């Protein structure tokens, strides 16, 4: 069926608006952290995969880092194992780490690869253990209290932080016209596997790849002010001020800390976008308005 004149004009406007952005980002590397509702809703999963494929087709190099907390929790519940959290992080004993590796490195990772492939892309799934990609160290949690002279050290098991990243295998895949899809699992000097926060891995990956942008998908519309209004364009000074006054707090802090570290290391911009919006990545990249918060140095 032919487009009406009004519809045709609207389509043409969208395409012409996208052109300068496509030209600007062609040949650039963008790191996208994929998580939240966009990973569990079938329509959103499909739209994300199509966004990633289109980015690659127009000459942009997307690198996808994904989470999978809800999927891990669901499987643990099915096998009768309780999920415990300390300061928002899952307590991960050896048995739980086996489940984490199976879910992140297997079920979730391969589902994303399959979705991208079905929409015409060429994706390769990795964990940080492949090609010595992510070296981890055990995360130590210190809890301070007035009644203790020294902080209490809390052991939460196989939870880690990034020690180093060797991006040789990522460069090889990107150079071969593949889309890397990476699960945030690293290996420590002790040979053990460690589960690492996907936002932190995405931030460090953007730093070492010298990415043009870091894009973090969330279950909110972006950073909000104290009245609940969306904050669109922010400088790092603006962000620091909103951390100081308590506007940015709780679960958003790890994302922001990752974003700020990336910008200070040379990443040009960080986008915190609403993963509940269909084609959120394309709308944020290729339109003037976007669907989230943009942070620049």
| Domains present along the chain, CATH in parentheses | 31-296 (3.40.1160.10)
Given this model, what pLDDT does residue 137 score? 94
pLDDT digits (tens, 9 = 90+) for 88-136: 788 899 999 999 999 999 999 999 999 999 999 999 999 999 999 999 9
Please, are residues 188 and 137 in contact by the beta-carbon 8 Å criterion?
yes
Q: Which residues contact 176 (CB under 8 A, 6 or more apart)?
A: none
Given this model, what pLDDT does residue 220 score? 82
pLDDT digits (tens, 9 = 90+) for 156-207: 899 999 999 999 999 999 999 999 999 999 999 999 999 999 999 999 999 9
Better pLDDT: 84 or 172: 172
Given this model, what pLDDT does residue 147 score? 63
The token pair at 226 is: 């104290």
Q: What percent of the chain has pLDDT over 70?
A: 92
Given this model, what pLDDT does residue 263 score? 93
Given this model, what pLDDT does residue 116 score? 97
Given this model, what pLDDT does residue 144 score? 66
Given this model, what pLDDT does residue 85 score? 83
pLDDT digits (tens, 9 = 90+) for 247-285: 887 777 878 888 999 999 999 999 999 889 899 999 888
CB atoms < 10 A from the CB of 19, how many?
A: 11
Strand bridging mode 193-196 / 292-296: unpaired
Model's pTM, two decimal places? 0.91
Given this model, what pLDDT does residue 194 score? 96
Mean pLDDT within 27-32: 96
């Amino acid at each position: 069926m032919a487009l009406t004149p009004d519809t045709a004009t609207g389509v043409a406007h969208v395409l012409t608006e996208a052109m300068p952005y496509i030209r600007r980002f062609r040949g650039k590397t963008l790191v996208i952290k994929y998580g939240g509702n966009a990973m569990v809703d079938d329509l959103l999963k499909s739209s994300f995969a199509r966004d990633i494929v289109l980015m690659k087709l127009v000459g942009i190099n997307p690198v996808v880092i994904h989470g999978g907390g809800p999927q891990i929790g669901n499987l643990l519940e099915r096998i009768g194992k309780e999920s415990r959290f300390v300061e928002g992080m899952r307590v991960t004993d050896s048995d739980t780490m086996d489940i984490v590796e199976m879910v992140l490195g297997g079920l979730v990772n391969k589902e994303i690869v399959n979705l991208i492939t079905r929409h015409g892309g060429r994706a390769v799934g990795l964990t940080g253990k492949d090609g010595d990609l992510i070296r981890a160290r055990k995360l130590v949690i210190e809890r301070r209290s007035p009644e203790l002279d020294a902080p209490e050290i809390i052991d939460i098991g196989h939870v880690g932080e990034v020690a180093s990243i060797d991006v040789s295998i990522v460069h090889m895949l990107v150079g071969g016209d593949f889309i890397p899809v990476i699960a945030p699992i690293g290996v420590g000097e002790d040979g053990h596997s460690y589960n690492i926060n996907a936002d932190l891995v995405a931030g460090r990956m953007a730093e070492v790849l010298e990415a043009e942008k870091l894009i973090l998908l969330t279950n909110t519309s972006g950073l909000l002010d104290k009245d609940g209004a969306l904050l669109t364009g922010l400088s790092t000074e603006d962000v620091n001020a909103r951390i100081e006054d308590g506007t940015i707090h709780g679960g958003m802090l790890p994302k922001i800390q990752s974003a700020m570290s990336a910008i200070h290391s040379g990443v040009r911009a960080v986008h915190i976008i609403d993963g509940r919006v269909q084609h959120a990545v394309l709308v944020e990249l290729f339109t003037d308005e976007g669907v989230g918060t943009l942070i620049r140095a």
